Amino acid sequence: MGLFRRSAPVDLAVSPPLAVLRQTVTATVTGSVDRVRSARLDWGYTNFFRHRWAGHADSAAAQLNDDLWLLGEVGTNYGGDRDTEEWVSVTAVDLPIATGELTGGSYDFKVPSWAPASSREIARWSCRLTVDREGPDVEARGDFTVVVRPEDADAGDEPMERYDGSGETVIEITLPSPVYAAGQVVRGQITLTPTTDVPDGDLGVSWQRHRESHPLTGNPCTTAPVDGPIVKLGQGIRLRAGVPTVVPFDLVLPEDAAPTAAAVHSSMSWFIRAELFCAGSTGHMTERVRKPIVVVNAVGQG
């Protein structure tokens, strides 16, 4: 629970403080406010993302005109990427006002089946109270945590993505499930099938996460995937045309992994990636592929 104003004469708390998808939570308002014109309760989430901020000269023409002025001007800023946040309203209700006074009460909200899980990278769920009155307005906020369990995930087997290399060796990542909890061990296997004879290769595997920002307004910011530490699976693996090689692996996801999520202004995606490097050869590109997975909250939450 948090208050926008220290002097707010009302308090707002949400229970339970931790909820799963499709669960009903309750906001309890205590205290009273007089001289009220209207009051509204707003359920939703604060969406965290990055955006491109434009400086005072954001066009090529303006920059050209300012080139001479800029010489020697330390600290001049033509723009950059910034962290920001926006409130996303899911449900808003007007509260009953009797003779200009708002008194305490309890109000329910059902967490949507599509709700992005709470995380510091994507979303903070809250209930907000706004009171319009004669005199200083009153605002209060109660936060709660939304978690996603394995049984809540809507996921299927997604195709492989090759994002580097020439495809001389076909790399296939096979997993027993597309859904994993934060901190869980991912057990799978990688199959290497060269399309032609290539030099012996070194194979590694790691997790990859990608937080993307896609604000509805303003300039989006391009973000790069983040790769986890590489687990080496083999060195000098013999690679001959048409001969598949199967390599099993165990990979631990971060315990604090932010769950897979799709919010209005940003999203979080997870992958298992494999990398094949032909040691001692400059004529063959490193092959990199990835397979999408869905990450949910750690086992025991919710």
Distance separating alpha carbons of residues 69 and 66, to the nearest angstrom = 5
Distance separating alpha carbons of residues 81 and 211, to the nearest angstrom = 14
pLDDT single digits (tens) 156-194: 889 999 999 889 999 999 999 999 999 999 999 999 999
Q: What is the CATH number of domain 2-56+82-147?
A: 2.60.40.640
- Band (pLDDT 50/70/90 cuts) for residue 79 is low
Percent of the chain past pLDDT 90, that is, above it, reads 68
The class that CATH gives domain 153-296 is mainly beta
Place of tokens 């027993």: 176
The two structure tokens encoding residue 251:
């990979």
Q: Does residue 143 register a pLDDT over 80?
A: yes
Q: Does residue 211 register a pLDDT over 90?
A: yes
- Residues sharing a CB contact under 8 Å with residue 291, sequence separation 6 or more, in sequence order: 158, 160, 161, 173, 175, 271, 272, 273
The residues spanned by each domain of the chain are 2-56+82-147, 153-296
pLDDT single digits (tens) 20-53: 999 999 999 998 888 999 999 999 999 999 887 7
Poorest-pLDDT segment among 66-75, 116-125, 207-216, 275-284: 66-75
Q: Does residue 99 register a pLDDT over 70?
A: yes
Rg of the chain on CA atoms, in Å = 26
- Residues sharing a CB contact under 8 Å with residue 78, sequence separation 6 or more, in sequence order: 54, 55, 56, 57, 58, 63
With 0-12 / 13-18 / 19 or more C-beta atoms within 10 angstroms meaning exposed / middle / buried, residue 258 is buried
- Residues sharing a CB contact under 8 Å with residue 20, sequence separation 6 or more, in sequence order: 111, 146, 147, 148, 149, 152, 302
Q: What is the predicted pLDDT for the residue at 51? A: 82
| Identical fold between 2-56+82-147 and 153-296 | yes
Q: Does residue 60 register a pLDDT over 60?
A: no
The two structure tokens encoding residue 38:
């209207």
Q: What are the CA-CA distances from residue 191 to residues 132, 244, 273 (Å)? A: 63, 6, 13
Q: Does residue 213 register a pLDDT over 50?
A: yes
**Helix residue spans in the chain (DSSP H):** 60-70
Q: Does residue 2 register a pLDDT over 80?
A: no
